[in-house]
Structure 1
């Protein structure tokens, strides 16, 4: 028997930039310039991601997965969770007005 999650997430999921800033960089002893160089991207790109002003693109997810030895899906799933939560918050009232269809 499945237990349905009908309440949804009550808080915004953790942004990938916050994970990098709070968990990955300190654990690996990395700096912004060091991460940028390792990833082959600009420091501005890394800074915008860390400040949660930039989303993780598929290309960046590939780079992060390679650098930290985890999966591409890890980074994209974190991004997807944030994107879906933001979308749900912005259209919540309109979605609530939609009447679900039932098969005949």
Structure 2
């Protein structure tokens, strides 16, 4: 039995993807699912979360009108998940742990 491995063969059983997958068309993004993305997301994932097309997200980013903060790193556009959550969560001041403004 030979233990030589053909360098052109690739064993896909050991590949692990650590990014959260976008939900299928019939599924919905929940706040918990958005939080599970980690610290940042791709612009395409952010578009899915917001319910807009990928091309629309890139047009908005190009004109600096994307509704969440963006980080440009070379040719990559990164979206902080905190910015997405800020858009998705209600801001009525009644959230637990939220300080009321001083009067």
TM-score strictly above 0.5:
no
Q: What range is the shorter-chain TM-score in?
A: under 0.3
Q: TM-score, normalised by structure 1?
A: 0.26
Task: Looking at secondary structure, tell me which structure has more helix per residue.
Answer: 1
Task: Looking at secondary structure, tell me which structure has more strand per residue.
Answer: 2
Report 1 or 2 for greater relative contact order, CA contacts < 8 Å, sequence distance ≥ 6: 1
